């Protein structure tokens, strides 16, 4: 279960409270506060707090104390300009704090983004729950033959069943031993900080993750991408829905210039110019490596 009864009771109590404020409020984000959105089989994402909105980005860019005579259309145009020209500091004026429940192996990939404040559930002080990520059958895939860090064709039949059985049985066995080590009858059990080393990487952990909008969008650009690992991508996609409601102008600009756009090298731009002049450019005449040419072709195909 993604939420324990105690967590749900806490969330219900928090949602029942309403506090007047003079600070900037995003109506889109207010509706998400304290709501846990399920991800994977036992995980979730929920907004604990946030600061700022689209207007805060514009205010920081103009370094003013109010909206003045600027219109909503001007605000959106300014945000698109800032995004288009890679101005980062105005976006850093907005922050969000998320409560995330996720498998440990996803957390270790996520923590590589060292631009946030993180406080994780401690297995030194508390006992972890018996909750493990077990992939759905359609999420099981063989190693990719062209990408050393990606997946290939899906597993099926006996092979898929065998893998799921191993994942489930091994996780349960490791947790059984974890429980035995920390609660040995008749004698003092092993310290929790040592017993946790035997737990598998698919056990769930939780953390509070606070990040500014600029660094959050960088995280989403990488992790919501189709090439990202599925298990972290579904978390990023859920966060995208939250950000789209929180700062709609900024998110639309992000989709346009970052998620839907492409950055070309000087060599690639030269190839585009030659193509526009009618020249047939091939890998052999492009001046690119095989990997660069393959990515360049991908950009051209996505533009058609």
Name the average pLDDT for the chain: 90
Catalytic residue numbers read: 223
Which pTM value belongs to this model? Answer: 0.88
**Cα 28 from chain centre:** 19
pLDDT at 165 over 70: yes
- At residue 224, does pLDDT exceed 90? yes
Largest Cα–Cα distance of the chain, in whole Å?
A: 84
- Do the bridges between strand 95-103 and strand 204-212 make them parallel or antiparallel, or are there none, so unpaired? antiparallel
H or E element in which residue 99 lies: strand 95-103
Between 49 and 143, residue with greater pLDDT: 49
How large is the average pLDDT for residues 255-272? Answer: 94
Convert the pLDDT of each residue in 133-160 to its tens digit: 999 988 888 877 766 667 778 888 898 8
Give the per-residue pLDDT at 148.
66
Question: What average pLDDT does the segment 50-72 reach?
Answer: 77
Instruction: State the Cα torsion 264-265-270-271 to the nearest 10°.
Output: -60
Q: Among residues of the chain, what percentage have pLDDT more than 90?
A: 69
pLDDT at residue 64, as a whole number: 57
| Residue 49 backbone phi and psi in degrees, to 5 | -160, 165
């Amino acid at each position: 279960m993604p939420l324990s009864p105690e967590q749900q009771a806490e969330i219900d109590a928090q949602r029942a409270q309403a506090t007047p404020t003079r600070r900037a409020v995003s109506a889109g984000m207010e509706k998400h506060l304290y709501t846990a959105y399920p991800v994977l089989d036992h995980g979730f994402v929920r907004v604990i707090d946030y600061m700022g909105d689209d207007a805060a980005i514009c205010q920081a860019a103009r370094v003013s104390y109010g909206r003045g005579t600027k219109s909503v259309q001007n605000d959106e145009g300014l945000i698109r300009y800032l995004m288009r020209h890679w101005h980062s500091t105005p976006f850093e004026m907005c922050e969000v704090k998320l409560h995330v429940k996720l498998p440990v192996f996803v957390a270790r990939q996520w923590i590589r983004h060292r631009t946030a404040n993180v406080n994780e559930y401690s297995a030194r002080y508390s006992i972890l729950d018996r909750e493990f990520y077990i992939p759905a059958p359609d999420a099981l895939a063989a190693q990719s033959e062209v990408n050393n860090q990606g997946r290939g064709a899906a597993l099926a039949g006996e092979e898929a069943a065998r893998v799921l059985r191993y994942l489930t049985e091994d996780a349960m066995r490791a947790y059984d031993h974890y429980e035995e080590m920390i609660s040995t009858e008749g004698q003092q059990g092993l310290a929790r900080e040592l017993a946790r080393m035997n737990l598998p990487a698919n056990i769930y952990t939780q953390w509070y993750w606070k990040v500014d909008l600029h660094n959050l969008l960088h995280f989403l650009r990488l992790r919501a991408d189709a090439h990202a690992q599925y298990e972290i991508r579904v978390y990023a996609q859920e966060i995208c829905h939250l950000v789209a409601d929180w700062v709609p102008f900024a998110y639309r600009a992000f989709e346009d210039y970052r998620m839907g756009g492409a950055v070309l090298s000087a060599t690639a731009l030269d190839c585009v110019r030659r193509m526009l002049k009618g020249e047939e450019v091939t890998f052999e005449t492009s001046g690119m490596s095989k990997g660069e040419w393959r990515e360049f072709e991908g950009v051209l195909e996505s533009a058609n």
